[in-house]
Amino acid sequence: MDAHNCYPYFGWWADRIDRALSAGPPLAIEQDLLWYTDPRTGQSRSIVTHGAPSTGHEPSMRDYFFERVRPIVENALRDSRREDWPLITLNLDLKSEEPEHLAAIGNC
């Protein structure tokens, strides 16, 4: 299965990742990422969103994706059941490619 645009969209469909994961492995999950700069603070970060305009309330990939799949991956590693591997293929759709954004994605 390919869970395309698997993230909340303007506050809608907050359960998309849970619905995708309920299908079981193997599956692909797409996350769209944008480099967001807070206009009040000037601080920037990578957010999961379909694109601008953004509110700054969008989640990070670490919070939305990695922390959600962590227990699934840890269980698979512990059980060493490789018949379903790769469990989850992460597809990234970069909505911006600033060098700082690419570096931040690499550090997730």
Task: Write the DSSP assignment of 2-28 as a string of letters.
Answer: EETT-S-BTTB-TTHHHHHHTT-SSEE
Number of domains making up the chain: 1
pLDDT over 80 (residue 32) = yes
The domain in which residue 44 lies consists of 2-106
Residue 22 in this model has a pLDDT that exceeds 90? yes
**pLDDT tens, residue by residue, 59-77:** 999 999 999 999 999 999 9
Q: How many CA atoms lie within 13 A of 101 on its CB side?
A: 17
Please determine, for residue 81, whether its predicted confidence score (pLDDT) is greater than 80.
Answer: no
Average pLDDT, the chain: 90
Interatomic CA distance for residues 100 and 69, integer angstroms: 25
